[in-house]
Chains A and B, each alone.
Chain A
Amino acid sequence: MKNSKIFWLLSLVLVLSAFLAACGGGDDTDTGTEAPEETEGTEEAGDLDSEQVLNLMETAEIPTMDISLAEDAVAFNIFNNVNEGLFRLDQENLAEPAIAEGEPEVSEDGLTYTFTLRDSNWSDGTPVTANDFVYSWQRSIDPATGSPYGAYMMAGSIVNATEIAAGEMEPTELGVTAVDEKTLEVQLERPVPYFMSLMAFPTFYPQNEAFITEKGDAYASNSENLIFNGPFTLNDWDGTGLTWSMQKNPEYWDAETVQLETINVDVVKEPATAVNLYNSGEKDRAGLSGEFAMQYANDENLVTELEPTVFYFKLNQERNGEENALSNVNIRQAIAKGFNKQDLVDVVLANGSLPANYLVPTEFTFDENNTDFRDVNGDLVEFNAEEAAEHWATGLEELGVEEVTLEILGGDTETAKNMDAYLKEQLETNLEGLTINLKAVPFGVRLELDEAQDYDIQTAGWGPDYQDPMTFIDLFVTGSAQNKMSYSNEEYDALVESAKGELTSDPAARWEAMAQAEKILLEDDAAIAPIYQRGLMSLQQPYVNGIVTHPFGGDYSYKWAYISGKE
């Protein structure tokens, strides 16, 4: 009998709580039908809501908030909003001075940068000094720290970084010195044309030596043991939990630009739950993956962002040491032009991706006059069934065969399989006598087969390591790690070499050389066949404004974001 008493008690509690919840549910927001006009920047303070709270979701926990140890997208995104380096990517994704007070002085040989720091404070009120940068960079390059990004970002650029990472020199010998409290001098091994945007990357942020020493092992273990110098502070993070928040940082040097008071973040790993939370009004923004992207494709609150990640066919000219049909340039050109990319992104992918007729993504890098690299070099390999068929016929004739069988090696995700099936159908239709076999394998296996050069055609993708076309352009030079497809062109190699060497002092000529290299790679040689540039779809409430998406470093900036029209 006891059991049934418990049961009645439980049901009573359940029923009661249901009523209580229903009573509390009357605060639905009435968002008007008109979406507020897009305003650049935050000068329009007139239509700001009194409550500046943004509610967001993440898909994973924070593994660490130690700038030297972090290596994941979640932490990098937070760093970009709670800390700040010498430079920051602005609303147009151009590097603008942040903790640096204006552009640095650069020596004539391009090897010495002298930054003057602006007056700015840590969240405890102490000033940010040049020594904070010196300490931070030395800490990240010190092999004893075990920083995943330290050597990766510094070696080959900053003087002695390579040697220190290898344990041959002391961290204090790194080419960065505090001339005085407000002056930082950086010595480079070679000119780095994209050095300013590199300064916006979290690895190059300052770290507070006094604070870190004082906290010892507790440093960065939760939000209490962190210190900030960016637009927001991190709060309510217990070190392992699924929730945290960011609060406006009153000590931030540009605090008057920052409109948001609070950003509440919860980790939601289930895409369907994220969409439900968005629809319930609890969350202001939800990423859409897979089937949800299609379901909400016509939603008026859909926002599409373009990622700087490009997918392409690698065309292997020598499988397992034997030349195959792909060693013929006409065959490669036929394949590169032989499939409809527009239909692929519209129908098969349907996630905001763009057809790619290029290797260096659009909306990623800009020259001195802020011109997109893409606007300089334009479309290089477009879909053209007729031209493809002509190349194909010529190629077959040159090879002396009538039929060719090739394998497409691809990923084993649903998206990858759908795409590869579509591409097979397209290529077999447009190129007579071609038979394609599909091979779908997990990521690790694909890398092994790539390493062994055991494939004909491979669908692969690449995202940037730094904000410069070179992070894509040099992928396929003779003998490089990405070039497991026996492609080699002296002219292309030479252009890459000069853009990395003697042309670094002449940005315009360097840009031209990279553009030329991309043309050779795609137009003349069809060494690879670009497919698409990945897009990302999200639902975003219309009252959310000014979130800026970045192609490099942290994904988003909330510094300029504001809430308008929710009330």
Chain B
Amino acid sequence: MAKYIGKRLIYMVITLALIATFTFFLMKILPGSPVASADKLSPEQRAVVEARYGLNEPLPVQYFNYMFGLVQGDLGISINQFKGAEVTDVILSRMGPSAQIGFQGMVLGTVLGILLGMIAALRQNTWVDYTSTFVAIVGISIPSFVFASLLQYWFGLKWELFPVALWKDGFMSSVLPSIALAMFPLATAARFIRTEMIEVLGSDYITLAKAKGASGSEIAFKHAFRNALIPLVTVLGPMAVSILTGSLVVEQIFAIPGIGEQFVKSIMVNDFSIIMGTTIFFSVFLIVIILLVDILYGVIDPRIRLSGGKS
């Protein structure tokens, strides 16, 4: 197991280096310049500003400088979004709120989704099933900005149950954005669990379990549910990353100082160091989650062996 994880860690570093390299060169072919209002600067001043951020060097030199800094954990400084601010500070200050609403949304959505899916599967082709399917379809198809706006208007403005927007009232501020983010994982989880459960419930070993006199709940949870979880874990991993690292739309609607919105803006204004920093941050997150998912497989399904078959 340790050997397996060690090997995976080495692959992770290589993956990360490749991602950083690709992003670096892709970013450099973006149209526009990170030096804002370059038209107002004289050529001399422009040269000074570019030199400050090392933009005057040939591209390969810039690349090696960046990678060298990266190895030492230095993500550089923001060029125009927050002039002179450390990228690390920008990411750290922005990831908290994103992570909080993301985590809450993820947990809420997955848990509710699993319940919904299980109930639907156990009561297949009854009104419970149809309702659950309907909720799942609605959750998948209504864009999050519509859902977020509705929540804001009714629960915030009209019924005054939660703050309309802004990140000022601690947990209360996070409720509506979390619910808005929960819809997608909820719908996805419900769909997957229902399909898988129905399939598993129809398999031979369940019939055997029934024949041996296992109780209904024992069959549902001990035998069916655990097997139904496997495909869900596969999709939940990457989904967790995209939600935990922030949703531009939900953050913007609820005026939350999150990282998703930050990332999109950095691309719009060519703030190279922020684009790189955020991309690398997201990548690390994604790679770690994928590793965790792989390890989880083994826990959920003993048939999946991570290494050599002897562990």
Contacts and interface: CB of A to CB of B under 8 A. Distances in A.
Determine which residue in A6, A150, A221, A270 has the highest number of CB atoms from chain B within 10 A of its CB, and name it.
A270
A280 B81 contact: no
A273 interface: yes
Contact of B82 (A6, A21, A61, A280): A61
A276 B41 contact: no
Interface stretch (B17-25, B252-260, B285-293): B252-260
A270 B253 contact: yes
B83 A240 contact: no
Interface string A99-129: 0000000000000000000000000000000
A18 B161 contact: yes
A360 B12 CA distance: 61
Given A240-B93, A280-B164, A71 B84 contact: no
Contacts of A242: 167, 255-257
Interface string A276-298: 11011010000000000000000
Contacts of B45: 143, 146-147, 150-151, 165
B52 interface: yes
A277 B166 contact: yes
Interface stretch (B62-70, B105-113, B204-212, B301-309): B105-113
Contacts of A279: 157
Contacts of B46: 146
A353 B93 CA distance: 40
Contacts of A22: 160-161
A268 B255 contact: yes
B48 interface: yes
Interface in A236-271: 238-243, 266-270
A70 B226 CA distance: 58
B36 interface: yes
A528 B252 CA distance: 40
Nearest to A269: B252
A268 B251 CA distance: 10
B111 A267 contact: no
Given A21-B160, A64-B83, A276-B156, A149 B42 contact: no
Contacts of A221: 84-85
A360 B105 CA distance: 53
Nearest to B112: A7
A280 B111 contact: no
Contacts of B156: 276, 280
Interface in A505-521: none
B158 to A, nearest CB: 9
A210 interface: no
Contacts of A347: none
A50 interface: no
Contact of B165 (A145, A240, A277): A277
A565 interface: no
A45 interface: no
B134 interface: no
Given A276-B156, A276-B157, A270 B252 contact: yes
Interface string A159-173: 000000111000000
Nearest to A150: B45
A33 interface: no
B284 interface: no
B140 interface: no
A471 interface: no
Nearest to A217: B84
Given A66-B83, A166-B44, A240-B85, A266 B166 contact: yes
Contacts of B161: 18, 21-22
A272 interface: yes
B261 A239 contact: no
Interface in A53-71: 61, 63-64, 66, 69, 71
A148 B85 contact: no
A143 B43 CA distance: 10
A268 B42 contact: no
14 contacts: A3-B111, A7-B111, A7-B115, A10-B111, A63-B82, A71-B40, A147-B45, A148-B41, A149-B40, A151-B42, A240-B85, A241-B93, A267-B255, A273-B254
